[in-house]
Structure 1
Amino acid sequence: MADCAGCFNKVTDGRFLNCHNCQKSYCLHCTNYTEEFLNFMGPVQRYSWKCVECKSAEPKSDNTNTPVRGSDNVNMHRGAGARPSALSSEPDNSVMEVSFTDNQHLNYTTRLDTTGASDIQQLVVELRLFREEMRALRVTVATLTTKIDACDGRIDSLCTRVEALENNTASVSVGKNTEASLADTVAQLRLELNDRDQDMLLNDVELSNVPEQSGENTLHIVATLGQKLGVTLSEHDIVDATRVGRAPRLDEGTQGQPARPRLLVVRLARRAVRDRLLQAARVRRGATTEGTGLPGPDCRFYVNERLTFVNRRLFQKARQLKEHYGWRYVWTRDGRIYVLRPGTESPRHRIRTELDLSRVFGTLDI
């Protein structure tokens, strides 16, 4: 806030000019300037501005700085022969004078040289660039606002889900009920994983009791045994054939008999080929290795579906219970285990877990 040296009023809006010589402050009304003109003044023009009193006290060198009062009062050259048209014929580009007169008959004069004009033009260019930057900034802020709103929505959704989970957790009884629920969930997940693993073995078969020797060609053995069963297997039908399990030691075996050979796992290219091989093995039940060229005495070999570790244990347990209780059949089809009670009217039962064995047979104590 400053006091105007012309009208002696308080300047509350902060728009005033300080004289370079006397350091007095003048409001816009006393300087006879508009706000637009004040905004276009550069720092150099504001710093070098002088009030009327200081300008009138300066010594006059010629009459070129005399305020313009009319077309008949302009004299750009000394002497009686000077003509008023000299102002329009050869103007002075280095100095431009503008005169303002208010109601109190005060005459203010400001001088704008060519340097000030270029500063004003540069300021206009900078203002335009600033306006473009502000527009780009508004677009960026709008984009950020949209993304922040989306993040807020996701956070609110997560908070809602967390609250729902907390409420569900609070509603579940503590202790055995919670442990039983978790155990059921784990058992269900294990069951689903076992079913998925079994589905991945639908193209595999297991050949058991096939003599084993060092450096054997398993693909040739599978093709030979398939020919023995009446199924022709080409090299395109067999994806892989390998022995699984721990290799037997030389000292293994009983009463001079060699150790039981490892399983021969065969992966076929198509499921239809696997089904033909299993069907041929059921029809020619009791086929032996006679005429196949395999080492050792002729022995009976078996072709079965390949089961997961869990299903293999369940199948062995079901066979033991079948023998104990005198049931009729226990078999597998497409990796699923089925049992059938004696009697034609009895339905078949599928076994997926040990609980199913307990439910079907009544007890697991044998």
Structure 2
Amino acid sequence: MALKCAACGKFMPKDSAEGASCVGCHNLYHLACVGIQDRNKIATGWECPECKAKIPRKNNDDTPIKNVSERDLTGAPAHLCMSPNDTAHDITVDFSVAEELKLFREVFREELSSMRKEMQEVRRELSKVSSSLLQCNKRIDDLESSVIRVEKQFSKRIDDLQSRIVSVESQTKERSNTDSNSVEATIAQLKAELNERDQELLLNDVDITGIPEEKAENVTHIAILVAAKIGVTINESDIVRAERVGPVRGGRDEVTARPIVVRLARRALRDVLLRAARVRREATTADMNLPGPARRFYVNERLTKNNRQLFNKARAAAKNCKWKFTWTRDGRIYSRKSEGQSGVRIRSDQDILRIFGTENIGPNI
């Protein structure tokens, strides 16, 4: 800690090598401030002028009275023979200013060194954050590249199947009536294969229904809110695409609002979302900051148009037959009569006729 001279109030060096310490009051003084020319001549037990003034004088009547100014100034050095206005403060002003500047430089160096260390630490933290962001961006880019590559592969396979269908359909025109049944069976098989390939493309998709629609809405944000409502945390990097599908209708209520289709980056995340939706079947839009009153919403796996129509027919037929369960898993349709019984898979309209009978199905099958 910096010390100050008790006479002039200026700072002194930390080692106080150029000062004198009073044994009485323990204050420090510049040598020049107390009129000492040589530090080696400071007597042991030196006292400052103030402490000496407090010592009572002895009553010695034999001592002749001498003029104080003569006694003090006789033989005194030339720099002490000054006018009363030229105090010791003026003598040491240059020295004190230099000492203060020196101390200020030391304090400034310490503060500057501390600031440099803090800036270095901030740079290191920023470097770590930047590195993490670069890694995240790289992973997202790789993921998008993988999704695009898979979509291209499936699109090519679909194109090949469509070409095969066109080829088979053209061949049926040239064949005789006796071969029509086998050709139709082949076409039906190819259509079923094409439907399965289309369904494979939707294995990362979910449908969200029951959410009111409004202009300039952020569909991605709505998908994140729905996931949070059923207890699943997702962020924008987990969503490849989110949009409303289907024709725009006049109303915007629960019935007329178009469904939201969300394509997720990972199939495992889609499975987690569907399981959570089955557990929280009674979830509503309450506390989601959406327009209108609270209403139930539904999260299901996305089906192709053919599978969606087949599922609706199977559910209607099962309801007429009082079967308790009809569901989908990975694009496949299943139905079960009651608890404990095994489920049966429904692949076509013929399966619905075979399982439920013609008397329990609608006229559209």
TM-score under structure 2 length normalisation: 0.49
Query: Whose radius of gyration is greater, 1 or 2?
Result: 1
Higher helix share: 2
TM-score under structure 1 length normalisation: 0.49
